[in-house]
């Protein structure tokens, strides 16, 4: 995810959005990366991509630099457009990938911008259903559709059903509204929270952290699943399930 500095809009009109798409298309040439899902909101962008020849950091830098140059020139401005570095979360299994794609596609719906996913023009949702969709040249659809079925018609049907299911899932590094504390302070906080329950946290050793405490810890720190796993020694999938459990 990339977001506008001070949460200001990074797209002022459809010409800006179109330019961002063109930049993605240009930077993808030569299989530098693969794009599986995206959504352009007013002041931020969500993308699910996998590395090709380039790593994620270089991909995002190239996209950002090109778009900032265009935006600043068009609007006769100088300075930063994006807030800090992009935020990211690793995707390590099919189930998580599908949940993330659904989260990305449902952004406009949950923001009240449209009443149906198909009504939002600036996301990859409709590209999976329409072979003539304008965004198809920049999208790598095989991975997502292949998770549903080898039969294309069935895959599209299941994709549409899944993407329109209601969900309350959130993704750790995509949470935007809270300040994330550094790892040293987070470790000290977790140790204090555990000590209140008679559990001692020791570096390099796994510790059994109660589910409720994991959720409280996430709420207080806004750390990613990856960092919570590193601090606790717990499995990332287990942490994700705990945090998103209703």
pLDDT at 123: 96
Q: Which CATH class is domain 1-177?
A: alpha beta
Q: Hey, which of 72-86, 127-141, 215-229 has the most confident mean pLDDT? A: 127-141
List beta partners, residue 51.
Answer: 33
Q: Quick one: the chain helix, strand, coil %, rounded to 5?
A: 50, 10, 40
The dihedrals phi and psi of 50, each to the nearest 5 degrees, come to: -125, 155
pLDDT at 65: 93
Residue-range domain boundaries for the chain: 1-177, 179-244
What percentage of residues in the chain have a pLDDT greater than 90? 46
pLDDT of 93 higher than 80: yes
pLDDT tens-place string over residues 195-230: 888 887 766 666 778 888 888 888 777 777 778 888
In the structure encoding, which two tokens stand for residue 7, read together? 């949460």
């Amino acid at each position: 995810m990339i977001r506008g500095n001070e949460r200001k809009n990074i797209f002022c009109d459809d010409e800006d959005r179109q330019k961002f798409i063109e930049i993605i298309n240009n930077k993808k040439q030569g299989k530098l990366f693969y794009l599986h899902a995206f959504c352009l909101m007013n002041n931020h962008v969500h993308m699910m991509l996998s590395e090709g020849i380039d790593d994620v950091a270089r991909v995002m830098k190239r996209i950002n630099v090109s778009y900032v140059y265009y935006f600043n020139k068009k609007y006769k401005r100088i300075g930063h457009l994006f807030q800090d570095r992009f935020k990211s979360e690793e995707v390590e299994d099919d189930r998580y990938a599908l949940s993330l794609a659904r989260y990305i596609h449902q952004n406009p719906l949950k923001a009240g911008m449209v009443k149906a996913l198909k009504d939002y023009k600036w996301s990859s949702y409709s590209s999976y259903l329409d072979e003539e969709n304008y965004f198809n040249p920049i999208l790598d659809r095989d991975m997502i559709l292949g998770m549903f079925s080898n039969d294309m018609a069935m895959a599209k049907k299941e994709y549409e059903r899944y993407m329109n299911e209601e969900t309350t899932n959130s993704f750790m590094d995509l949470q935007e509204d809270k300040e994330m504390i550094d790892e040293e302070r987070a470790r000290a906080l977790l140790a204090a929270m555990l000590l209140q329950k008679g559990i001692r946290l020791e570096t390099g050793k796994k510790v059994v952290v109660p589910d409720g405490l994991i959720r409280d810890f996430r709420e207080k720190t806004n750390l990613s699943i990856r960092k919570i796993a590193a601090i606790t020694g717990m499995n990332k999938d287990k942490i994700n399930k705990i945090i998103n459990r209703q």
